[in-house]
Copies of this chain bind each other. A is one copy, B any other.
Amino acid sequence: MVGGGAGSFIGAVHRMAANLDGQIELVCGTFSSSYDNSLATGRSLYLPDNRIYKSYRDMFEAEALLPADMRMDMVSIVTPNHLHYEPAALALDNGFHVVLDKPMTFSLDEAYRLQDKVEKSGLVFALTHTYTGYPMVKEARERVARGDLGKIRRIYVEYPQGWLKDSVSEADNKQAGWRVDPQRSGIAGCMGDIGTHCYNLVSYITGLKALELCAELNTFVPGRLLDDDGAALIRYEGGVRAVLMASQITPGEENGLSIRVYGEKGGLEWHQEEPNTLIIKWNEKPKEIVRTANGYTGAAAKFNSRTPGGHPEGYIEAFANIYRNVALTIQAGMDGQQPAPEYLDFPTVYDGVAGMEFIETIVAASKNDTQKWLPIIKRK
> Chain A interface (Cβ within 8 Å of chain B)?
9, 12-13, 15-16, 19-22, 26, 45-46, 149, 153-154, 156, 158, 160-163, 165, 214, 216, 218, 220, 229, 231, 233, 239, 241, 243, 245, 247, 249-256, 260, 262-267, 272-276, 280-291, 294-296, 306-317, 368-373
Contact A245 B156 (CB under 8 A): yes
Q: How many copies does the complex hold?
A: 4
Alpha-carbon distance between A126 and B316 when the two chains are bound, in angstroms: 24
Task: With A245-B156, A281-B162 as known contacts, state yes or no: A262 contacts B286, CB within 8 Å.
Answer: no
* A20-B316, A241-B231, A254-B310 as given contacts; A371 in contact with B373, CB under 8 Å: no
Given that A20-B19, A156-B245, A241-B218 are contacting pairs, would A265 and B251 also be in contact in the complex, using a CB cutoff of 8 Å? yes
**Cross-chain contact A315 with B309 (CB below 8 angstroms):** no
State A286–B274 Cα separation when bound (angstroms). 16
Question: Which B residues touch A153, using CB under 8 A?
Answer: 220, 229, 249
Asked whether B15 lies within 8 Å of A22 as measured between CB atoms, the reply is yes
Which of B16, B251, B252 contacts A20, CB < 8 Å?
B16
Out of B265, B287, B294, B316, which one reaches A316, CB within 8 Å?
B316
Contact B291 A288 (CB under 8 A): no
Bound-state CA distance A216–B13 (Å) is: 40
- By beta carbon, the residue of chain B nearest A261 is B250
By a CB distance below 8 angstroms, the chain B residues around A368 are 372
In the bound complex, CA of A231 to CA of B233 (Å): 8
Complexed CA–CA distance, A371 and B282 (Å): 37
Contact among B165, B247, B371 with A372 in the assembled complex (CB-CB below 8 Å) = B371
